């Protein structure tokens, strides 16, 4: 048995001792009584009885040894700004933010919704919430008012922290009008809104509700706000993610399990050491941003580089220039970004000294071989894929080089990470597939390891019913991904089993997009599918049935398409905008009225749509075929 195989085996068969050892990587205010309370499966209570604080572990505990070392490096190529905070300075800023939030009435257990661009104040707000034991809910800045309103209603925040605007590719994107509209749409009304004014866009304050961050900060400049020691099982945050239904789920994360899982992953998977710099190009609105822009690197005592801008602006060398300047040792990005860079000359990359870099990690979507080969060749460093989900918070599959060096295989994100008892299940019978090269659903036998979702926010039943299946006597979590495992225990991901699509690493529910399209006055119904795309992995393509088929003559089809796209932009945000909208008179459905999205997708990708015996009207699929030349 290899060292890693033994490490993994111990994490499953000797769970308590294994995770007790990992728990020593973080500071506890009060030791835990029990490593894992799994008395009410599938609900796992990790480190029950223990007390700690996530902000203390990310910031305060480093003051003794590294107060003057870099903690947060912020670079914006959008506004041409660069700011570096030491741990001491970060500590001060987080306390100022915590004092402001306290002043606005935020207490332990309250929710604070953060709707912000990639600016340091977003990280201050997250860490300040953790400091107070308040539960943050970061909403990606690319989401528009409809999505934001849904999340406001679900999280019911006391306070919202936001900013006047973001910027992308030099174009200012005002946030405030979207936020005001979302609050108008929402049933729940936050009592206060804290606004960071970047001077990018007008953001008129609502009297009695909106507070200006700079003014508030000046009033709380020297305030010390102690960490609130919370139970290990206390929720640290919720983060919304898409699934099969139109309503996103609030993934709820704990405190103790999360701190331990991140600290362990920094050591065993990412191999980042205190005093070094970690650069994750994600956004704080996504799970990678939570785990590996904010909490993971800081918990490990590393500086984290937070970047606002595009990978190709001012030129495609910008990321590598930052690697050189800040001596980045660990870098993390998504395959889409690499595919974008690949379109440019590799000389941009070679112009910079990348000797500090140890490895590049990629995640969020399938990594195709040409992309992996290109980037590995261009940087001359290991490229390590890792597969996980918002739900899990850290990798399910990867290579744990920190435990034992193992080769990566192109096309595979790697093997089961310690703590995850990964199984492949037969889709129909639920039976475990134990042989090599069999296709099944990737599943995890409970309990999920520390750091994974505790439940769906305020909806335990949805958590249990959505994710868990009982397979003779055992409770198993479904990832909703297809996969196969080879003889060496390496997995290959073969796509989602549900109606989730992945556009440029962004997870979108086709139902959500269909519902947004249906808001357009002319639309009777819509089907959205993910279609393979050379750069983004997948793009959304919509097939729409109009209330009045005569509505669209050849001349107005393009106009109507643009108009429907605008509806999606306004409701969900441009990230959910379909790449194409095509008009049909009927959608392929089963006789019981179920939309045959998989058949539509297969036709769009010129694959065999499979068994269509249950289809109501074969002519509907033919209409989609007829659109193929332009779909
Ligand atoms: P999210 O919750 O947004 O992180 O999306 C999770 C989903 O993205 C997974 O269920 C997979 O479908 C996909 N995914 C994430 N990482 C990878 C990867 N390394 N390879 C293939 N698919 C991935």
Render pLDDT for 349-379 as a digit per residue (tens, 0 to 9).
899 999 999 999 999 999 998 999 999 999 9
User: 550: pLDDT confidence band, cut at 50, 70 and 90?
Assistant: confident
From ligand 1's centre to the CA of 573, what distance in Å? 21
The per-residue pLDDT for 428 is 86
From ligand 1's centre to the CA of 548, what distance in Å? 39
Burial of 339 (0-12, 13-18, 19+ CB in 10 A): buried
Best of 334, 360, 365, 441 for a ligand 1 pocket test (most atoms within 8 Å of beta carbon): 365
If you average pLDDT over residues 64-85, what whole number do you get? 98
User: 395: pLDDT confidence band, cut at 50, 70 and 90?
Assistant: very high
CB 413 near ligand 1, within 6 Å = yes
Q: What angle do CA 444, 448, 452 make, to 5 degrees?
A: 115
Nearest alpha-carbon partner for 224 in 159, 119, 131: 131
The per-residue pLDDT for 553 is 66
Query: Which alpha helices (H) appear in 104-231, and where do they start and end?
Result: 120-132, 145-155, 176-185, 213-219
pLDDT digits (tens, 9 = 90+) for 113-168: 999 999 999 999 999 999 999 999 999 999 999 999 999 999 999 999 999 999 99
Nearest alpha-carbon partner for 590 in 611, 609, 608, 616: 616
End-to-end Cα spacing for the chain? 50
- Say if strands 303-308 and 277-280 run parallel, antiparallel, or are unpaired: parallel
38 in Cβ contact with 446 (< 8 Å):
yes
CB 507 near ligand 1, within 6 Å = yes
The per-residue pLDDT for 532 is 94
CA pair distance 68, 66, nearest whole angstrom: 5
From ligand 1's centre to the CA of 318, what distance in Å? 26
From ligand 1's centre to the CA of 479, what distance in Å? 9
Stated as kind and residue range, the H or E segment containing 542 is strand 537-546
CA pair distance 377, 573, nearest whole angstrom: 36
The per-residue pLDDT for 629 is 66
What DSSP string describes 67-100? Answer: TTSEEEEEEETTTTEEEEEEHHHHHHHHHHHHHH
Residue 1 tokens, joined: 């048995």
If you average pLDDT over residues 528-552, what whole number do you get? 91
The closest residue, in CA terms, to atom 9 on ligand 1 is 389
CB 166 near ligand 1, within 6 Å = no
CA 502 to chain centre: 11
From ligand 1's centre to the CA of 506, what distance in Å? 9
Ligand 1 atom with the shortest distance to the CA of 286: 3
If you average pLDDT over residues 378-404, what whole number do you get? 97
- Say if strands 237-241 and 440-445 run parallel, antiparallel, or are unpaired: unpaired
Query: Which alpha helices (H) appear in 188-251, and where do they start and end?
Result: 213-219
User: 590: pLDDT confidence band, cut at 50, 70 and 90?
Assistant: confident
Which residues lie below 8 Å from residue 564, measured CB to CB, with a gap of 6+? 517, 520, 522, 523, 542, 544, 578, 581
471 pLDDT exceeds 90? Answer: no
pLDDT digits (tens, 9 = 90+) for 201-237: 999 999 999 999 999 999 999 999 999 999 999 999 9
CB 276 near ligand 1, within 6 Å = no
The closest residue, in CA terms, to atom 20 on ligand 1 is 366
If you average pLDDT over residues 35-61, what whole number do you get? 98
Burial of 444 (0-12, 13-18, 19+ CB in 10 A): buried
From ligand 1's centre to the CA of 389, what distance in Å? 6
From ligand 1's centre to the CA of 567, what distance in Å? 27
Helix (H, G, I), strand (E, B) or coil at 517: helix
The closest residue, in CA terms, to atom 5 on ligand 1 is 389
If you average pLDDT over residues 59-79, what whole number do you get? 98
493 pLDDT exceeds 90? Answer: yes
535 pLDDT exceeds 70? Answer: yes
| Window from 237-246, 265-274, 363-372, 420-429 with minimum mean pLDDT | 237-246
Question: How many of the other CB atoms lie within 10 Å of CB of 102?
Answer: 17
The closest residue, in CA terms, to atom 7 on ligand 1 is 389
pLDDT, averaged across the chain: 95
CB 415 near ligand 1, within 6 Å = no
CB 289 near ligand 1, within 6 Å = no
From ligand 1's centre to the CA of 480, what distance in Å? 10
From ligand 1's centre to the CA of 363, what distance in Å? 7
CA pair distance 231, 250, nearest whole angstrom: 20
Secondary structure letter of residue 410 according to DSSP: T
313 in Cβ contact with 169 (< 8 Å):
yes
Question: How many of the other CB atoms lie within 10 Å of CB of 212?
Answer: 14
From ligand 1's centre to the CA of 390, what distance in Å? 8
The per-residue pLDDT for 630 is 60
Ligand 1 atom with the shortest distance to the CA of 496: 12
R_g (Cα) of the chain, nearest Å? 24
If you average pLDDT over residues 252-280, what whole number do you get? 98
CB 505 near ligand 1, within 6 Å = no
Ligand 1 atom with the shortest distance to the CA of 287: 4
Secondary structure letter of residue 301 according to DSSP: T
CA pair distance 371, 535, nearest whole angstrom: 10
Indicate the Cα dihedral angle 348, 350, 354, 355, nearest 10°: -170
pLDDT digits (tens, 9 = 90+) for 242-258: 887 778 899 999 999 99
The closest residue, in CA terms, to atom 3 on ligand 1 is 507
Best of 337, 389, 512, 532 for a ligand 1 pocket test (most atoms within 8 Å of beta carbon): 389
The closest residue, in CA terms, to atom 23 on ligand 1 is 365
CB 446 near ligand 1, within 6 Å = no
369 in Cβ contact with 410 (< 8 Å):
yes
The per-residue pLDDT for 460 is 98
CA pair distance 479, 392, nearest whole angstrom: 9
The CA-atom distances, in angstroms, between 359 and each of 333, 354, 462 are 11, 10, 38
CA pair distance 631, 628, nearest whole angstrom: 5
CB 390 near ligand 1, within 6 Å = yes
Residue 173 tokens, joined: 């994107």
User: 617: pLDDT confidence band, cut at 50, 70 and 90?
Assistant: confident
Residue 289 tokens, joined: 């941003």
If you average pLDDT over residues 77-81, what whole number do you get? 98
The per-residue pLDDT for 445 is 97
Best of 481, 483, 509, 530 for a ligand 1 pocket test (most atoms within 8 Å of beta carbon): 481
If you average pLDDT over residues 328-335, what whole number do you get? 97
If you average pLDDT over residues 323-348, what whole number do you get? 95
Helix (H, G, I), strand (E, B) or coil at 483: strand
* Token pair 């529910």 in the structure block, residue: 509
């Amino acid at each position: 048995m290899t060292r890693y195989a033994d490490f993994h085996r111990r994490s499953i068969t000797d769970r308590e001792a294994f995770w007790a050892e990992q728990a020593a990587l973080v500071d506890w205010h009060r030791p835990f009584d029990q490593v894992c309370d799994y008395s009410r499966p599938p609900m796992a209570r990790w480190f029950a009885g223990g007390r700690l604080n996530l902000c203390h572990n990310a910031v305060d505990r480093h003051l003794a040894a590294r107060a003057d070392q870099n903690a947060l490096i912020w670079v914006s190529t959008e506004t041409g700004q660069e700011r570096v905070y030491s741990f001491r300075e970060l500590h001060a800023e987080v306390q100022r933010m915590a004092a402001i939030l306290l002043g606005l009435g935020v207490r332990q257990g309250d929710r604070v919704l953060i709707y912000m661009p990639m600016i340091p104040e977003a990280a201050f707000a997250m860490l300040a919430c953790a400091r107070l034991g308040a539960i943050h809910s970061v909403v990606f800045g690319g989401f528009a008012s409809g999505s934001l309103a849904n999340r406001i209603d679900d999280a019911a925040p006391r306070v919202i922290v936001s900013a006047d605007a973001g910027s992308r590719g030099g174009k200012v994107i005002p946030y405030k009008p979207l936020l005001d509209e979302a609050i108008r749409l929402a049933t729940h009304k936050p009592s206060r809104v804290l606004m960071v004014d970047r001077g990018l866009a007008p953001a008129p304050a609502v009297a009695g509700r909106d507070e200006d961050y700079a003014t508030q900060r000046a009033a709380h400049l020297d305030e010390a706000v102690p960490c609130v020691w919370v139970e290990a099982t206390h929720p640290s945050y919720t983060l919304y993610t898409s699934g099969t239904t139109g309503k996103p789920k609030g993934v709820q994360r704990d405190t103790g399990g999360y701190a331990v899982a991140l600290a362990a992953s920094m050591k065993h998977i990412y191999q980042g050491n205190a005093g070094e710099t970690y650069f994750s190009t994600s956004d704080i609105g996504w799970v990678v941003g939570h785990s590996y822009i904010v909490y993971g690197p800081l918990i490990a005592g590393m500086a984290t580089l937070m970047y606002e801008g595009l990978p190709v602006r001012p030129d495609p060398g910008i990321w590598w220039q930052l690697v050189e300047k800040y001596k980045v040792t660990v870098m993390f990005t998504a395959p889409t970004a690499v595919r974008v860079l690949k379109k440019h000359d590799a000389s941009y990359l070679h112009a910079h000294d990348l000797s500090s870099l140890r490895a590049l990690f990629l995640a969020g979507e399938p990594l195709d071989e040409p992309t992996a080969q290109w980037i590995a060749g261009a940087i001359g460093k290991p490229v390590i894929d890792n597969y996980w989900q918002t739900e899990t918070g850290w990798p399910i599959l990867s290579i744990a080089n920190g435990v034992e060096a193992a080769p990566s295989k192109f096309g595979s994100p790697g093997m089961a990470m310690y703590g995850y008892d990964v199984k492949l299940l037969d889709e129909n019978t639920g039976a475990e597939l134990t042989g090599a090269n069999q296709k099944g659903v990737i599943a995890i036998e409970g309990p999920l390891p520390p750091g994974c979702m505790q439940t769906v926010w305020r909806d335990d039943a949805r958590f249990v019913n959505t994710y868990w299946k009982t397979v003779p006597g055992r409770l198993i979590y479904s990832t909703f991904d297809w996969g196969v495992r080879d003889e060496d225990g390496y997995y290959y991901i073969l796509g989602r089993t549900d109606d989730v699509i992945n556009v440029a690493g962004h997870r979108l529910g086709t139902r959500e997009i269909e519902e947004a399209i249906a808001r357009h006055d002319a639309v009777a119904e819509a089907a959205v599918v993910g279609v393979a795309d050379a750069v983004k992995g997948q793009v959304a393509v919509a097939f729409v049935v109009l209330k009045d088929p005569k509505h669209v003559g050849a001349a107005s089809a393009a106009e109507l398409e643009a108009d429907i796209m605008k509806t999606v932009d306004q409701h969900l945000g441009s990230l959910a905008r379909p790449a194409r909208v095509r008009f049909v008179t009927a959608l392929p459905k089963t006789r019981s009225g179920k939309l045959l999205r998989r058949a539509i997708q297969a036709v769009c990708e010129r694959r065999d749509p499979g068994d269509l015996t249950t289809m109501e009207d074969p002519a509907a699929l033919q209409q989609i075929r007829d659109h193929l030349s332009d779909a």
